[in-house]
Amino acid sequence: MSPTIFAANWKMHLGPAAGRDLVRAVLSRVRPAEGRTLLFFPPAVSLPVVASEVAGRKDAAAGIQNLYFEPKGAFTGEVSASLAAEAGATWALVGHSERRHRFGETAADTGKKVRAALTANLGAMLCVGELLEERQGGRTEAVVLRQLAAGLEGLDAATVARVVVAYEPVWAIGTGVNATPADAAAVHRVIRAWLRDHTPAGSRARILYGGSVNAKNAAELLAEPELDGVLVGGASLDADGWVTICQAR
């Protein structure tokens, strides 16, 4: 069984000094364990510091929260996959709901970003998830599979195996309302089945759940074997809470 992934998305919080302090505090309390991988997604400016803090730990890595798919050029304000790698990233988050819904990132953009990340040898974590009205309208499966297909378009089976999928229902992100373990597992099974049908490596795909995971509900969510880990925003900003979550399975 692959290690459980605990991924912290700091969003637009924690500059280099505060980021370094948090990673130090967490790593001093969460000892390396074979069954656990710790991923930190700090703001881009904090990436070099976080990368250097995790450098001595095989169980931990740093990633960029977003990237631009072009390799270089006149794209003011953007960061390419290779620049992120140079700054210490070994992972990239792609298609987070805030990128899709607040910054207008399209499904086609996510596909280009996944390919750019993998080309630069970064692991790609592709986020998918439905809006509340899509769930209420019975369209969860269709939305998630459309996002998945667009995000993975053009990848061969071996390459798809390097992508981790994060199922993050938009109505659960930052709202304090998490999906139940059973609801999350049901969508994970749909994603897994699609991956199995479309890629030979699919049955081994790692699928995380994200959306209002916290120190109180993490153990219950992670008791569901369909969850290969969690992607956490707000609750990853506090050392005590994050340490508890990272020990919840």
Q: Binders of ligand PEP among 81-100, rule CB under 6 A?
A: 96
Q: Binding to ligand PEP by residue 173, rule CB under 6 A?
A: yes
Q: Binding to ligand PEP by residue 232, rule CB under 6 A?
A: yes
The CB-of-10 to ligand PEP minimum distance in angstroms stands at 9
Task: For ligand PEP, give the closer residue by CB, 41 or 68.
Answer: 41
Say which DSSP state 80 is in: B
Q: What is the dihedral of CA 99, 102, 105, 106, to 10 degrees?
A: 120
Q: Binding to ligand PEP by residue 130, rule CB under 6 A?
A: no
Burial profile 104-122: b = 16 or more Cβ within 10 angstroms, e = fewer = ebebebbbbbbbbbbebeb
Active site residue 168: yes
89, 208, 234, 245: residue in contact with ligand PEP (rule CB under 6 A): 234
Size of the site for ligand PEP (CB under 6 A): 15
- The string of DSSP letters for 128-153 reads E---HHHHHTT-HHHHHHHHHHHHTT
Q: Binding to ligand PEP by residue 233, rule CB under 6 A?
A: yes
Q: Which value, in Å, is the radius of gyration of the alpha carbons in the chain?
A: 17
Strand blocks (E) in 53-198: 60-64, 91-94, 123-128, 163-167
Active site residue 101: no
Q: Binding to ligand PEP by residue 151, rule CB under 6 A?
A: no
Q: Binding to ligand PEP by residue 71, rule CB under 6 A?
A: no
The three-state secondary structure class of 64 is: strand
Piece of the chain touching ligand PEP by CB under 6 A; list 65-73, 117-125, 182-190, 210-218: 210-218
How far apart CA 63 and CA 47 sit, in angstroms, is 7
Task: For ligand PEP, give the closer residue by CB, 100 or 192.
Answer: 100
Q: From the candidates 53, 96, 130, 134, which is the catalytic residue? A: 96
CA quadruple 67, 139, 135, 157: dihedral sign: negative
Q: Which residues bind ligand PEP (CB under 6 A)?
A: 9, 11, 96, 168, 173-174, 210-213, 231-235
Give the active site residues: 96, 168
